[in-house]
Chains A and B, each alone.
Chain A
Amino acid sequence: MKLSSAKLSKESKGASPSHGGHHKKSLHSKRPSHCSVLPLRPVDQLEQWPSATVDMYNSDNNHHHHHCHQQQQQQAQTSHTSTSRSSDYLAGGRGDSGEASGAGDKWALRLLKECARAIFDKDSSKVHHLLWMLNELASPYGDCDQKLASYFLQALFCKATESGRRCFKTLTSVAEKSHSFDSARKLILKFQEVSPWTTFGHVAANGAILEALDGESKLHIIDISNTLCTQWPTLLEALATRNDDTPHLKLTVVITENIVRSVMKEISQRMEKFARLMGVPFEFNVISGPNHLGELTKEALGVLEDEAVTVNCIGALRRVSVEERASVIQMFRSLGPNVVTFVEEEADFSTTRHDFVKCFEECLKFYTSYFEMLQESFTATSNEKLMLERECSRSIVMVLACDDDQDNEGECERRERGTQWSERLNQAFSPVGFSDDVVDDVKALLKRYKAGWALAQPHQKETGLYLTWKEEPVVWVSAWKPLKHSQNYRN
């Protein structure tokens, strides 16, 4: 749907890539708006396109085929969500189509990669061809391949048409409208129930925090995340039960995603109530102002002298634009924390940001893993799974189709790997290992989930812990303490 709206706006504004040819315009203008996006019955399509490459560029053929297909499209509209259809398609498509159609299991990856390359090469005809193919095959309601095809197609299209920014804004406003406390809570809790993707980082970080702040009576946790405070109930419970003296806890949440802003009021009420029940003296603050984390100051965060400070960043570093990351890390150090915990997803969209194809492949690899994980963790018809997938669409568009030069208002999503973050963090911090107890806790946590998850402790040079899904590291968590003042950081 989004794609069609993008295409519509494209049509209305008459925008087209500079290298667009005449035939492309006619292709789009002749095409009724409603059928450009909907997955058609691919078998029908392919039968009429025996040699896909050639026919694509024949405008007469295009017009003819489009007219023919209208009826079929309308019929197909109602049933395109069935997965059995998609499998039919896959079976049928394999034999008929030519070089560009998907063959075998990884048709989506192949097509997507080829399309990305074509965009990079500015091969417009190939781009069109592949975009069209993908459009036929993709569906956000199909199997993993189809979903990936759908979301990445959107990003590719935005890239090709340079409409990434606009698309992102549209997606964001749609998401904001449907975002509520209940839906967000349900979503995140369900996700945590079926997958340790987020709880892994929480357990490890909480363990490190509790150990580092043991004995302190005034704690100040600066939580830079969008986890809706789901990390903290277990920490509060631990504070209440395992310490002789229950310390005072001040929790300052810095939210980095605008969408989350609206629910923080409700979250704060719940957290305060819960802390009361736990018997933990508690203070809660939310900071949602600055778009740039580097602008935060001790005063803005309300850091007091007698507090034991910890900074907890869950997926926060990647939202900082690449150039500002070093200064943000220094800012953290300037807060004088006892311990700093970071949780990030393991992917590299940062060093590849100038190489579109490479970045695309990294992105595709990461989200393939993520989508497969979602597929296996949730039930087939889970609404939560659908919502999580949709949330990815914004990130994917942002990474692939939005220029870094533009001020993305803290919506950057350029992930880095644990080793890369470590290099940065070593400028201001030194790593703190996770104790055996914490490692045991994490292992016990993973046991409570379905098979496929494991904990990987890196080799000597590396720090932190990795959560692996099917032996691929996917999430990285680490704990750090500031370098002593006498230790100068290397630039």
Chain B
Amino acid sequence: MLETMAEESISNGFIKNPVTGSNPAVVAKKRNLPGTPDPEAEVIALSPKTLTATNRFLCEICGKGFQREQNLQLHRRGHNLPWKLKQRTTKEVRKRVYVCPEKTCVHHHPSRALGDLTGIKKHFYRKHGEKKWKCEKCSKRYAVQSDWKAHSKTCGTREYKCDCGTLFSRRDSFITHRAFCDALAEETARVNAASGMHSLAAENFNYQLMGNPLDTVMPFSTVFNPISSNDEAVDQTRRGFSLWMGQASQGYDSFGKSTLQEIHQFGSLNPGSIYGDPMVSTSNPPVSDYQLNWVFGNKVSSGNVEDHRLSSTSLPFSNVKENGPQLVSVPSLFSTQQQSHQTPAFSMSATALLQKAAQIGATSTDTAFLGSFGTKCSNSQVQDGNKHSDLYVSNTPSDLENSANGISTLNQLQMYPAKRRRMQNEDSGGGGGGGETRDFLGVGVQVICHPSSISGWK
């Protein structure tokens, strides 16, 4: 699955945005299927043998093979050819696109051809090849050596930091610790915990940059399917949203205390994904449209409904459009994932957001986005709710400021400002939440997470 998405993203990146700044190999998001590749392009169908051949470029003088054309050219210089022969003999060829030789593959058809030779090669290995490269630390397997190398660099280097301040280098001991940590037990830390836990839940996503974001997406997608009532939808989206928070905040391995540095570690992925969304719909004046567009974002505009995963979630939301902002949250999570892929289109705003985030992150307490949000939430609940809701509607730059604190938190506050205030006021005591399953969100998650209601969803 992942590879499909990755490949699509790569193909999209190469065909649609040849000068994209994003790193396709890192993007593991669901993308819209591309439109047709350049109709003028010459479709090349290489045989598997040719595709996997490592030295395609042969020197006509000595027959030596090279992996890249540039290397061949460099080599040819060494033959001291007369000037005439140094020139490229062929004129500029027209653009080439490549199809996958595997008949059962989506990319076998010329309309789904990939525009880059390296891309098609990697696709072929990833999808149809044997996974020869294995990470020593976590025994994850890869078919493409560069994928494996990239993973190995980050594998095991991720540090997990719990709210209580303990650092872990191992994910499993981090999870186990988290379950028993006192920070988890405290109600006041529930937001942090929630965000953190979401990042935990989304850890798969984080951990494997080229991994399967949709695998982590998937568990929550079905949550949103059977929406029978508005309330349920709201609850679901809230829950899903909160759960998605972590996924959106990819860089945050620590529970609510990830730092900007960690975000930057993930490079463009995080900022794009986190901050891309709000910017998408800046141009849409009506609030409801804004929200809707934000939610569906590129999905709607690109008219893509082919992706079955997204479509499964988009349907319910079309029903609950009228419920307003609250329902937007869930789809936004999906579109969030698309954002990083479409970073070029929104690069300006994403960068601006990131800068804002950096400022805010620097000025806020040392705890980063989610952490600061948590602090805000618990300390100045009402105020934040008001502020956020106002900002949200107005779409002013202060929006950025708040969103810099995490799309998730921003959404939460914006989406459910009234309710959140109410809940937080009620919970000011912090305690056991009246015996209810008041949760990290403190936003009535007890409804969501109550077993009966949960089963009702399914």
By a CB distance below 8 angstroms, the chain B residues around A243 are 219
Q: Say yes or no: is A176 at the interface (Cβ < 8 Å to chain B).
A: no
By a CB distance below 8 angstroms, the chain B residues around A272 are 437
Contact status of A279 and B449, CB under 8 A, knowing A240-B201, A270-B179: yes
* Closest Cβ neighbor of A185 among chain B residues: B180
Q: B25 to nearest A CB, angstroms? A: 23
Q: A449 to nearest B CB, angstroms? A: 9
On whether the beta carbons of B458 and A242 are closer than 8 Å, the reply is no
* Closest Cβ neighbor of B448 among chain A residues: A279
Q: B444 to nearest A CB, angstroms? A: 13
By a CB distance below 8 angstroms, the chain A residues around B202 are 241
On whether the beta carbons of B204 and A276 are closer than 8 Å, the reply is no
Contact status of A276 and B454, CB under 8 A, knowing A185-B180, A189-B177, A233-B175: no
Contact status of A233 and B222, CB under 8 A, knowing A276-B445, A279-B243: no
Contacting residues of chain A (411-466) with chain B, CB-CB under 8 angstroms: 440-441, 443-445, 447-448
Interface hit among B192-200, B329-337, B417-425: B192-200
Q: Report the separation of the CA atoms of residues A230 and B173 in the bound assembly, to the nearest whole angstrom.
A: 10
Contact status of A274 and B437, CB under 8 A, knowing A193-B173, A279-B201: no
Other than the given A232-B179, A281-B454, 9 more pairs (CB < 8 A) read A192-B176, A230-B180, A241-B202, A244-B218, A244-B219, A277-B194, A277-B197, A282-B451, A443-B139
Q: Say yes or no: is B351 at the interface (Cβ < 8 Å to chain A).
A: no
Interface residues of B (CB under 8 A from A): 136-139, 169-170, 172-173, 175-180, 184-185, 193-194, 197, 200-204, 215-216, 218-223, 239, 243, 437, 439-440, 445, 449, 451, 454-455, 458
On whether the beta carbons of B173 and A274 are closer than 8 Å, the reply is no
By a CB distance below 8 angstroms, the chain B residues around A244 are 218-219, 221-222
By a CB distance below 8 angstroms, the chain B residues around A230 are 176, 180
Q: A431 to nearest B CB, angstroms? A: 23
Contacting residues of chain A (233-249) with chain B, CB-CB under 8 angstroms: 233-234, 236-237, 240-246, 248
Q: Say yes or no: is A217 at the interface (Cβ < 8 Å to chain B).
A: yes
* Closest Cβ neighbor of A182 among chain B residues: B182
Q: Say yes or no: is A273 at the interface (Cβ < 8 Å to chain B).
A: yes
5 nearest A-B pairs in the assembled complex, by CB-CB distance = A233-B179, A277-B197, A440-B139, A274-B179, A281-B451
Q: Say yes or no: is A269 at the interface (Cβ < 8 Å to chain B).
A: yes
On whether the beta carbons of B184 and A248 are closer than 8 Å, the reply is no
On whether the beta carbons of B218 and A237 are closer than 8 Å, the reply is no
* Closest Cβ neighbor of A203 among chain B residues: B172
Q: A297 to nearest B CB, angstroms? A: 24
Which of B179, B440, B449 has the most chain A CB within a 10 Å cutoff? B179
> Which of A199, A234, A269, A283 touches B185 (beta carbons < 8 Å)?
A269
23 A–B contacts, CB within 8 A, in A order: A189-B176, A189-B177, A203-B172, A217-B458, A233-B175, A234-B172, A236-B179, A237-B203, A241-B201, A241-B216, A243-B219, A244-B219, A245-B458, A248-B454, A272-B437, A274-B178, A274-B197, A276-B449, A277-B193, A277-B194, A440-B139, A444-B137, A447-B136
Q: Is the interface of A mostly helix, strand, loop or mixed?
A: helix
Q: Report the separation of the CA atoms of residues A236 and B221 in the bound assembly, to the nearest whole angstrom.
A: 18
Q: Report the separation of the CA atoms of residues A233 and B197 in the bound assembly, to the nearest whole angstrom.
A: 11
Q: Say yes or no: is A158 at the interface (Cβ < 8 Å to chain B).
A: no
* Closest Cβ neighbor of B168 among chain A residues: A193
How many Cβ-Cβ contacts under 8 Å join chain A to chain B?
Answer: 105
Interface residues of A (CB under 8 A from B): 185, 189, 192-193, 199, 203, 217, 229-230, 232-234, 236-237, 240-246, 248, 269-274, 276-279, 281-283, 440-441, 443-445, 447-448
Q: A81 to nearest B CB, angstroms? A: 30
By a CB distance below 8 angstroms, the chain B residues around A246 are 219, 223
On whether the beta carbons of A241 and B185 are closer than 8 Å, the reply is no
By a CB distance below 8 angstroms, the chain B residues around A273 are 184-185
Q: Report the separation of the CA atoms of residues A234 and B200 in the bound assembly, to the nearest whole angstrom.
A: 11
By a CB distance below 8 angstroms, the chain B residues around A192 are 173, 176
Q: Report the separation of the CA atoms of residues A282 and B448 in the bound assembly, to the nearest whole angstrom.
A: 12
Q: Report the separation of the CA atoms of residues A241 and B437 in the bound assembly, to the nearest whole angstrom.
A: 21
By a CB distance below 8 angstroms, the chain A residues around B179 are 229, 232-233, 236, 270-271, 274
On whether the beta carbons of B175 and A237 are closer than 8 Å, the reply is yes
Q: Report the separation of the CA atoms of residues A281 and B451 in the bound assembly, to the nearest whole angstrom.
A: 5
On whether the beta carbons of A278 and B201 are closer than 8 Å, the reply is yes
Q: Report the separation of the CA atoms of residues A274 and B196 in the bound assembly, to the nearest whole angstrom.
A: 12
Contact status of A189 and B138, CB under 8 A, knowing A241-B215, A242-B215, A278-B197: no
Q: Report the separation of the CA atoms of residues A271 and B180 in the bound assembly, to the nearest whole angstrom.
A: 8
Q: Report the separation of the CA atoms of residues A244 and B222 in the bound assembly, to the nearest whole angstrom.
A: 7
On whether the beta carbons of B176 and A233 are closer than 8 Å, the reply is yes
On whether the beta carbons of A241 and B454 are closer than 8 Å, the reply is no
Q: B130 to nearest A CB, angstroms? A: 14
> Which of A277, A281, A444 touches B440 (beta carbons < 8 Å)?
A277
Q: Report the separation of the CA atoms of residues A193 and B166 in the bound assembly, to the nearest whole angstrom.
A: 13
Q: Report the separation of the CA atoms of residues A270 and B178 in the bound assembly, to the nearest whole angstrom.
A: 10
By a CB distance below 8 angstroms, the chain A residues around B215 are 241-242
Q: B336 to nearest A CB, angstroms? A: 17
> Which of B169, B200, B440, B451 touches A283 (beta carbons < 8 Å)?
B451
Contact status of A277 and B439, CB under 8 A, knowing A245-B222, A248-B451: yes
By a CB distance below 8 angstroms, the chain A residues around B180 are 185, 189, 230, 233, 270
> Which of A242, A269, A276, A447 touches B219 (beta carbons < 8 Å)?
A242
Q: A443 to nearest B CB, angstroms? A: 6
By a CB distance below 8 angstroms, the chain A residues around B204 are 241-242
Contact status of A444 and B138, CB under 8 A, knowing A199-B172, A241-B201, A242-B215: yes
By a CB distance below 8 angstroms, the chain A residues around B173 are 189, 192-193
Q: Report the separation of the CA atoms of residues A440 and B131 in the bound assembly, to the nearest whole angstrom.
A: 14
Contact status of A241 and B219, CB under 8 A, knowing A276-B449, A279-B449: yes
Q: Report the separation of the CA atoms of residues A285 and B137 in the bound assembly, to the nearest whole angstrom.
A: 36
By a CB distance below 8 angstroms, the chain B residues around A232 are 179
* Closest Cβ neighbor of A193 among chain B residues: B173
Q: A439 to nearest B CB, angstroms? A: 9
Q: A123 to nearest B CB, angstroms? A: 50
> Which of B136, B137, B193, B200 touches A237 (beta carbons < 8 Å)?
B200
Q: Report the separation of the CA atoms of residues A233 and B177 in the bound assembly, to the nearest whole angstrom.
A: 9
Q: B448 to nearest A CB, angstroms? A: 8
On whether the beta carbons of A448 and B170 are closer than 8 Å, the reply is yes
Q: Report the separation of the CA atoms of residues A193 and B179 in the bound assembly, to the nearest whole angstrom.
A: 15
